[in-house]
Amino acid sequence: MTLTGPIKIKSKAVAQEFLDSFDSFLFDCDGVLWLGSHLLPSIKETLKLLTDLGKKLIFVTNNSTKSRAAYTKKFAGFGIEVSEDQIFTSGYASAVYVRDFLKLQPGKDKVWVFGESGISEELSLMGYESLGGGDPRLDETFDFKTSPFLVNGLDPDVHCVVAGLDTKVNYHRLAVSLQYLQKEDSVHFVGTNVDSTFPQKGFIFPGAGSTIASLACSSGRTPVYCGKPNINMLNTIVSAKNLDKSKCCMVGDRLNTDIRFGVEGSLGGTLLVLTGIETEERALEEDGDHPQPKYYAEKLGDVYELTSS
């Protein structure tokens, strides 16, 4: 039988075939495992099943606001034990990019952060001093004559701006970030992730991509993006976890980031779950502006519910 189009996981046989096809699973988190602070059905059971079967579990999120350490606490809060080295955030991927691709020197070179602690904490663990970010002096109304970030000139040791989602975005942060970005010859421009929005409780709110777009516009520069679906993120994971890509499955709720990440990264398979922002109709679209998943399911928990019934 030739299968065309995505396969829906809705029987025990298909669920079992899905499980047998891969030895590693990469999961997006929000919209797949949980919605905000609400764990989705049968998630704990599904993750335990996979662990018991000897599968490798890796968690890959474009959320740069939390560090990996903070993520392990979020998992623990749901009663799920996950170690830090199973987690890859776009903030961590950006820090890895700064270290391994840009080869900035820890203890010497500094990074200007436009974003939350999930970026600066990861940089700090690698030995990089970061400026900006959540510094409360940036909460003050901007005045170029008094801003402590401008009065004594820019810090000449800053060689990269890493920008991500920052719910404390204000003119002070935008203006100082722009000053660093204007040093095109000596300051790199890294964006955590391209997502223009994110869903929350029925709303759609501005995402990292939309504030990075503002900095890209004012500076006339294009950042390098490190989160999904950028291949930098996948290379980091594959190398760190020593994975066989053909035996990996990416599980996500977004066609244009998660599924694209798996398809363009040549992973063995992809699973779209419909607990996030996509619909069955979109999953089955052949001529859409997105790749098709290999598998799709109403929810990730169906994998457990179908195989254990």
Asked if residue 154 binds a copy of itself (CB under 8 A), the reply is: no
Nearest residue to 233 (alpha-carbon basis) of 243, 221, 247, 219: 243
Rounded Cα gap, residues 122 and 9, in angstroms: 37
Q: b/e for 254-281, b at 16 or more Cβ within 10 A?
A: bbbbbbbbbbebebbbbbbbbbbebeee
Helix, strand, coil percent content, the chain, rounded in steps of 5: 35, 20, 45
The token pair at 187 is 């300051």
133 with 181: CB under 8 angstroms? no
Rounded Cα gap, residues 208 and 121, in angstroms: 18
Which one of 23, 30, 85, 155 is the catalytic residue? 30
Which residue among 41, 78, 142, 298 contacts a copy of itself (CB under 8 A)?
A: 142
Asked if residue 146 binds a copy of itself (CB under 8 A), the reply is: no
Residue 277 CB, shortest distance to a copy of itself, in Å, is 13
Give the residue with the Cβ less far from a copy of itself, 16 or 197. 197
Q: Is 228 annotated as a binding residue?
A: yes
The token pair at 50 is 């996979």
- 17-25, 110-118, 195-203, 281-289 -> range binding a copy of itself (CB under 8 A): 195-203
Phi–psi pair at 241, nearest 5 degrees:
-105, 5
Told to judge if 28 belongs to the known catalytic residues of this protein, a careful annotator would answer yes
Which one of 20, 23, 28, 135 is the catalytic residue? 28
Asked if residue 196 binds a copy of itself (CB under 8 A), the reply is: yes
Asked if residue 288 binds a copy of itself (CB under 8 A), the reply is: no
**What pairs with residue 23 in β-bridges?**
none
- 8-16, 27-35, 115-123, 178-186 -> range binding a copy of itself (CB under 8 A): 178-186
Asked if residue 214 binds a copy of itself (CB under 8 A), the reply is: yes
Amino acid identity of 82?
A: V
Residue 117 CB, shortest distance to a copy of itself, in Å, is 16
Rounded Cα gap, residues 9 and 21, in angstroms: 13
Site string for a copy of itself, 45-64 (x = CB under 8 A): --------------------
Told to judge if 30 belongs to the known catalytic residues of this protein, a careful annotator would answer yes
Asked if residue 220 binds a copy of itself (CB under 8 A), the reply is: yes
Which residue among 11, 51, 146, 170 contacts a copy of itself (CB under 8 A)?
A: 170
Which residue among 183, 218, 221, 282 contacts a copy of itself (CB under 8 A)?
A: 218
Nearest residue to 227 (alpha-carbon basis) of 87, 59, 62, 32: 62
The set of catalytic residues is 28, 30
